[in-house]
Structure 1
């Protein structure tokens, strides 16, 4: 067995993970960092470049980011998005910031580097009729139908993120107040309310869940799948299957969040209340969510105001 090289990026990656856990970062956040670091190490290895922290230079990182901007997606064959490259840039930036703080490297290669530009990509807000079709597709009475209806209604009714919904336990539901306690970004908890139809869907699902074979081994997780607790990835796969069966094309969890924000504002909801419900700290999020139909909201507001008719 060769000597252990503590400066090797694979070893340093594990140290970084320990630091992230010490900072109480969530598991999905840590996994995201580590996956992106692995991609960088793979790139360095494939191109016979150094894989120790002190030897990595700004040029190595730049070449990696450039490769992401020009490499096709293995699954679709289409070019990877600039936002995808930016996510890798941010992860590596935090990694090397940690290495510099620990004096493992003498200079941070990210000094004077800038994020690659990314054209703004507007997220399509699903039409109300499309969501109704999605719910119609789940309008059966078996376990999967009841579970998927409850998930879809909770997404639409609360605007929660996929990870927040996937992370719910049964005890996080409060049917006296019709609320769900979710853990948002930065491990910040918040209570989000839901309406009567969502309450009914959840109650029907819970009665079916009590009879599910996996319930004997898991008395806490809210959502059960074939292997036990349903993951974020499992929920995304479910939505893809249901959307295809409903004939409405691709749909992903974050589109519900955009629909929630757009529908809230279109119905006269206050921006400050939306920030609280969605778990946002920055008002910039108000501009981003539902932006693809912002002109529709503005025209509707103008029609309601009837300013010219007041003269």
Structure 2
């Protein structure tokens, strides 16, 4: 016998409480809750039970299969297998929690496997596009100063969009030319930046000081028309600037790939890159370096001139 308390939409709030207890970021928690809600909506639309103890392996399998056939409602393009894999992982952690809490007797994910997904190489934006993007922000308005600082910080540090968005004024250290960001798992790390980024940040801070929110001691570093900017707002900013610069759209995460590629291409140590990027697994090195690994390998061969030594 089940009750409304067994509905996965109700149980999701208990799961969120557990995630907060584990000090997971608000963004991570939001992602889990969103995926649980999508699954509940699917079950309801299909006339299937939404009570945790009644959900079976077949229900989950049917949902993942359904996701693999869906199209993005905005673009009309097929949803990527990686999208289905992301939802699989979220729901897997949710049902693991339900099993631990003895809300369900059997974990329906037992003996299920993650859907296959072909490896997708994220294109590294060419440096000419980045120069055009910065040229588009070369004015002296508040927005120009802010956007230049954001883009330069992206390129110079390889930070994630959420890490950049969450910066506070006090996170900047101009004695060391570093920024302290909060990465995945709420793990802080310090990232250095160069002189041009320092200049861009100092110019922005000078115009920021006149912003109405700054006058009221707002701690958030990035300010928009109505207050602190969100990571979504920063994504829109980059999209808008790319369009104005007449270049192909650059997703903020591509800056991270650009940073990793150029670090390795200039002889940077892999262990140092892991520290700067906030990675714990060496698998991330392969993922971020793969899209232009062939180019780097050819350049290394030309530098070595092995055949010319005979």
* TM-score category of the 2 structures, normalised to the smaller one: over 0.9
Q: In the aligned structure 2, how far is the partner of 1:222 from the partner of 1:275?
A: 26
Contact in 2 for aligned 1:192/1:277 (Cα 8 Å): yes
Q: Which residue in the other structure is 2:229 paired with?
A: 230
Q: Which residue in the other structure is 2:202 paired with?
A: 203
Q: What is the TM-score of this pair, normalised by structure 1?
A: 0.98
Question: How big is the shift at 1:77?
Answer: 0.6
Q: Which residue in the other structure is 2:136 paired with?
A: 137
User: Per-residue CA shift, 1:32-55, capped at 9, x if unaligned?
Assistant: 000000000000111110010000
Question: How big is the shift at 1:183?
Answer: 0.5
Question: How big is the shift at 1:213?
Answer: 1.8
Question: How big is the shift at 1:227?
Answer: 2.2
Contact in 2 for aligned 1:36/1:92 (Cα 8 Å): yes
User: Per-residue CA shift, 1:3-34, capped at 9, x if unaligned?
Assistant: 97211111101100000001110000000000
Which 4+ residue blocks in structure 1 deviate beyond 3 angstroms? none
* 1:52 corresponds to 2:40: no
Task: Count the aligned residue pairs.
Answer: 309
For structure 1, which runs of at least 5 residues remain unmatched after alignment? none
Q: In the aligned structure 1, how far is the partner of 2:76 from the partner of 2:306?
A: 51
Q: In the aligned structure 2, how far is the partner of 1:5 from the partner of 1:260?
A: 49
For structure 2, which runs of at least 5 residues remain unmatched after alignment? none
Secondary structure of 2:115's aligned partner: coil
Aligned pairs (5 A) from 1:78-117? 78-117=77-116
Question: How big is the shift at 1:199?
Answer: 0.1
Q: Which residue in the other structure is 2:127 paired with?
A: 128
Aligned pairs (5 A) from 1:289-304? 289-304=288-303
Q: Which residue in the other structure is 1:20 paired with?
A: 19
Q: In the aligned structure 2, how far is the partner of 1:306 from the partner of 1:79?
A: 45
Aligned pairs (5 A) from 1:244-255? 244-255=243-254
Q: Which residue in the other structure is 2:74 paired with?
A: 75
Q: In the aligned structure 2, how far is the partner of 1:173 from the partner of 1:186?
A: 21
Q: Which residue in the other structure is 1:174 paired with?
A: 173
Contact in 2 for aligned 1:133/1:246 (Cα 8 Å): yes
Q: In the aligned structure 1, how far is the partner of 2:132 from the partner of 2:10?
A: 50
Secondary structure of 2:155's aligned partner: helix
Question: How big is the shift at 1:217?
Answer: 3.6
Q: Which residue in the other structure is 1:240 paired with?
A: 239
Q: CA RMSD in A?
A: 1.1
Question: How big is the shift at 1:218?
Answer: 4.5
Q: In the aligned structure 2, how far is the partner of 1:32 from the partner of 1:55?
A: 24
Q: In the aligned structure 1, how far is the partner of 2:170 from the partner of 2:62?
A: 48
